């Protein structure tokens, strides 16, 4: 006898399995806007002010072209419940920051800053960094000047360009997180 609930069970399992890949490509007519597609689902994204670049450099505003993997999710535990994801999850602390100085030995790595130190803090007044997917761009090996702090994060309300990241709405981020694992390929610009 055929189980009448089989298709429902299958759909639930298919929807909950980790994604093998997501693709990000520019929108026609505006290189600072794009589309993220994953398993038949498409969402608008904002890209770097320099569009997608094959030869990413620090400060060029470009979103790097290539295939990357997510490393972990950073999230504002003081603002949101822990999201469901297959990724390792780390709450953002007030002293968490990211090193963007090519002359620093900690370039393109997380770091901790005291209250009086300047730097790119992950705790922001706006909500752009409420969810940050750290990707492995320029990480093995790290090359000074080849770009740092390239993340997937939340977009501004007007979807204005980023400094080189891929940004999206909160609902798109949460939907994506439910299916992301460390094995999910992030294919940008191909």
Q: How confident is the model over 121-146, as a mean pLDDT?
A: 96
Task: Tell me the pLDDT tens digit for each residue of 90-108.
Answer: 999 999 999 999 999 999 9
Beta bridge partners of 97: 111, 121
Q: Which two tokens stand for residue 88?
A: 């390792």
Task: Tell me the pLDDT tens digit for each residue of 22-53.
Answer: 999 999 999 999 999 999 999 999 999 999 99
Q: What is the dihedral of CA 97, 32, 145, 21, to 10 degrees?
A: 80
Q: Which two tokens stand for residue 131?
A: 């969810």
Beta bridge partners of 99: none
DSSP 127-187: STTSEEEEE-TT-TT--TTS----EEEEPPTT---BSS-EEE-HHHHHHHHTT--TT-EEE
Q: How confident is the model at residue 143, as a pLDDT?
A: 96
Q: Alpha-carbon distance 38 to 43, whole Å? A: 9
> What DSSP element (H or E) covers 24?
strand 21-27
């Amino acid at each position: 006898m055929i189980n009448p609930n089989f298709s429902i069970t299958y759909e639930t399992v298919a929807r909950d399995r980790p994604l093998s890949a997501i693709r990000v490509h520019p929108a026609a007519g505006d290189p600072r806007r794009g589309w993220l597609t994953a398993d038949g689902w498409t969402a608008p994204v904002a890209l770097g002010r320099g569009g997608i670049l094959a030869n990413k450099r620090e400060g060029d505003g470009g979103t790097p072209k290539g295939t990357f993997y997510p490393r972990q999710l950073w999230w504002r535990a003081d603002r949101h419940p822990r999201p469901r994801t297959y990724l390792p999850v780390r709450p953002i602390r007030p002293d968490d920051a990211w090193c963007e100085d090519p002359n620093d030995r900690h370039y393109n790595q997380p770091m901790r800053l005291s209250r009086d130190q300047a730097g790119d803090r992950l705790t922001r007044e706006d909500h752009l960094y409420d969810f940050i997917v750290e990707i492995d761009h320029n990480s093995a090996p790290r090359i000074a000047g080849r770009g740092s702090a390239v993340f997937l994060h939340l977009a501004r309300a007007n979807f204005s360009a980023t400094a080189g990241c891929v940004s999206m709405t909160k609902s798109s981020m949460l939907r994506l997180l439910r299916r992301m694992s460390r094995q999910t390929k992030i294919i940008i610009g191909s």
